[in-house]
Amino acid sequence: MNNVLKKIVLPLALAICSATASAGVVTFDDLSGDFTEAIADGYQGFNWTGMGSIRSDAFPGSGYETGAVSPANTAFNRDGGIAAISKAGAGTFDFVGAFFTSAWLDQELSFEGYANGQLLYASAASFVIDTMTPLWVQLDWSGIDTLVVYNSSGTQWAMDEMTVPEPSSVALFGIAAMGWMAARRRRIGGRPV
């Protein structure tokens, strides 16, 4: 039974765990939503330059209200200008995407991704956002330490459900796959060696 546990059950359990782990989604709902406060550096493992969080009901009828995909809060660019999200501490992150909505008037957003001060990615086109419907912006950028968001209007936008893969889910999947392959290699004619 010990060999069966090692060869089949453990890799299968790891595969199940990695399948149930999903990309990390930052909803900002655990913040106060007080728009006068900046998001503190270190929140969710990132530093937030020029960004705050705001309750969805702070300005009824605005893009903050319609842009709240998760119920309570969104993040926003506090002064209406450029905002940056960077990895707190060493290492990089992968940015899958996020929902964006303009707070007050239609505008365009563009993005850049950096690692160690070097530009790795730049959005090929700008994304037009309005005040009525959150737009999912999917970039799938990997290995960056800073994401910079530019806007065309000099006014605020709202961001919700920022999606970044959790390293643990990627690691678990890799371990499970290696364990499963090792168990399969040790089989001859369907029987363990």
Model confidence pLDDT, tens digit, residues 84-126: 999 999 999 999 999 999 999 999 999 999 999 999 999 999 9
Amino acid identity of residue 62, one-letter, is S
User: CA–CA distance from 170 to each of 109, 120, 141 (Å)?
Assistant: 30, 22, 15
Detail the DSSP E strand segments found in 37-117: 46-49, 51-55, 73-77, 83-87, 93-102, 107-115
Name the nearest CA neighbour of 111 among 81, 141, 150.
150
Q: Determine the Cα–Cα distance for residues 176 and 105; give it in Å rounded to an integer.
A: 48
Q: How many CB atoms lie under 10 A from the CB of residue 23?
A: 13
The reported pLDDT for the residue numbered 190 is 54
Tell me, which fold does domain 23-165 have in CATH? Jelly Rolls (2.60.120)
In percent, the amount of the chain with pLDDT more than 70 equals 74
Provide the pLDDT for residue 166: 73
C-alpha span between 93 and 80 (Å, rounded): 25
Distance CA 31, CA 61 (A): 22
Instruction: Name beta bridge partners: 122.
Output: 112
- pLDDT of residue 134 exceeding 50, the answer is yes
- Which of 21-30, 60-69, 180-189 has maximum average pLDDT? 60-69
Query: pTM higher than 0.85 for the full model?
Result: no
Does residue 171 have a pLDDT over 80?
no
Length of the chain: 193
Question: What percent of the chain is predicted at pLDDT more than 90?
Answer: 74
**Rounded to a whole number, what is the largest CA-CA distance in the chain?**
68
Is the confidence at residue 69, as pLDDT, over 90?
yes
Burial 118-133 (b: 16+ CB within 10 A, else e): eebbebeeeeebebee
Q: Which of 99, 88, 80 is nearest to 35 (CA)?
A: 80
What per-residue confidence (pLDDT) applies to 4? 45
Q: How many CA atoms lie within 13 A of 9 on its CB side?
A: 6
CA angle 182, 184, 189 (to 5 degrees): 140
The confidence band for 189, taking pLDDT boundaries of 50, 70 and 90, is low
**For residue 143, what pLDDT band results from cuts at 50, 70 and 90?**
very high
- As given in the structure block, the two tokens for residue 159 are 């961001």
